[in-house]
A and B are shown apart, each in its own frame.
Chain A
C-alpha cells in the first residue's frame, strides 16, 4: 500500500503560469517532506523541503505548502519555465525510520510549454 501518493502522472502548463503538483500521504508519523526533480538519464536532485512544524516553505519560484490535517502537500512553481519540465517526486520521512529511508511517490511529469 502506497504511503505517499502522487495521483497525477502528468501535468501540462503554459510558460509563465503557475504549476501545482500535489502529494498525499497516509502515515501520520511522517514529519519531514521533500520534493525532488528528475531529468531523463539523470538522478533526482533535491528541490525543496518542509518540516511538519511549518505549513509553508518558499525558495525563489518554488513554494511547498503542507496541510497536516489533510495529509496533503503541494509544490507551486511560479512562474513556470520550460526548463522546469521534468518528473517531480514527493518524498516523506519519519524520525523513527532509517536515515536513508525516504518514502517516494511515483512522480508527476511536468511539461511546461513555451
Chain B
C-alpha cells in the first residue's frame, strides 16, 4: 500500500488568508485526489490532480479558490485561498490503489480551522 503524508496536520488561520497543504506519496502515481470533509458532513471530492496537466475540478469547486499544483508524480499541493469560517474542514489527499476499482489510499488529513 502507498504511504501518504500531509503537512500541516492541523492549522488555525485567520479569515482572508490562504493556506497551502502538502501531500507526499512514497511511490509514483498518475492521479492524486483532494477531498474535503466539513464538520458533520461526508467526504467530498474537490479535484483530481494529474501530473503535467491542469487539475480537474468537481462541480462547486473552482481553481481560484482551491489552486492545485502537481509538480511531479509523488507530490501535490492544495491551497485554500481567501479563507472564511466555512472553509473549516478536514482536507485529505488520496491516490488510487491500483488493486481494486475505486479503492484509494488516503492521507491522514489536514484539520483546518478558520477564525
Seen from chain A, the residues whose Cβ lies within 8 Å of a Cβ on chain B are 2, 4, 32, 34, 36, 41-46, 49, 89, 91, 93, 98-107
Contacts and interface: CB of A to CB of B under 8 A. Distances in A.
Nearest to A33: B102
A91 B106 CA distance: 14
A43 B31 contact: no
B101 A32 contact: yes
Interface stretch (B12-20, B41-49, B70-78, B81-89): B41-49
Interface of B: 4, 9, 31, 33, 40-45, 48, 56, 58, 92, 94, 96-97, 100-109
B40 to A, nearest CB: 7
Contact of A46 (B43, B92, B104): B104
Contacts of A46: 97, 100, 103-105
Contacts of B97: 46
B31 to A, nearest CB: 7
Contact of B42 (A2, A32, A49, A101): A2
A105 B106 contact: no
